[in-house]
Homo-oligomer: A and B are copies of this chain.
């Protein structure tokens, strides 16, 4: 029974994994949730890696990504989108990576294709969980990340690029903010994703014209400057907007 259960629910596929680029926003800059693999005995090499794991043969890719996310953060119903597949045969070339795999995989030498996802989580709701593959997890500002395990740096860049494109077409940025937020926070969010300054007035005008924000009759409290009005994201308007479509190229 136990055996049978195991067979049905949990046959790991040694050749396919998922990795998650979990984006957060600390109201200052875009950050990513990385796992710390701890000290590597053989010496140096990056300690940080994207959370990820092999997939089970009975789950589809989206499920696997959600599972990894859940194991790490306990979060459900999170914005999740596939970035693509990565799989150079020589993607495991660092000694430290090889070593680590030996400690966590049944077939550490297997050729693995990984399917990358990115997800957007409201950092405020995030509560770290003990997970099978991560001793520790930390939020790290994207711009400060210079090296990662395996080809994870490449994956991170691809995910960031995809996010960049996507945010120009759909207002998914709201997934990174608390329920109530200020226009300045939203502004800062766009700047940190697009990596360039945006004119304050023009930004506000454009966002407001989308008509997906509800202004609350509520102000920030306790800030040492003029308090900002708080806004809420308006789901209905957004749904309508995505139905009627809103690209923005000229054709």
Q: Which residues of A contact B (CB under 8 A)?
A: 13, 15-16, 57-61, 82-89, 111, 113, 115, 165, 168-169, 190, 194, 198, 203, 206, 247-251
Contacts and interface: CB of A to CB of B under 8 A. Distances in A.
A248 B249 CA distance: 6
B249 A168 contact: yes
Given A113-B16, A113-B61, A113-B113, A247 B168 contact: yes
B85 A60 contact: no
Contact of A13 (B86, B111, B190, B249): B111
Contacts of A111: 13, 57
A13 to B, nearest CB: 6
Contacts of A113: 16, 61, 85, 113, 115
A122 to B, nearest CB: 22
Contacts of A206: 250-251
18 contacts: A13-B15, A15-B16, A16-B16, A16-B87, A16-B113, A57-B111, A61-B113, A82-B85, A84-B84, A85-B85, A85-B113, A87-B115, A113-B113, A165-B165, A190-B251, A206-B250, A248-B249, A249-B249
Nearest to A89: B58
Contacts of A250: 206, 248
A100 to B, nearest CB: 21
A66 B60 CA distance: 26
A67 to B, nearest CB: 14
Given A16-B15, A82-B84, A84-B84, A59 B89 contact: yes
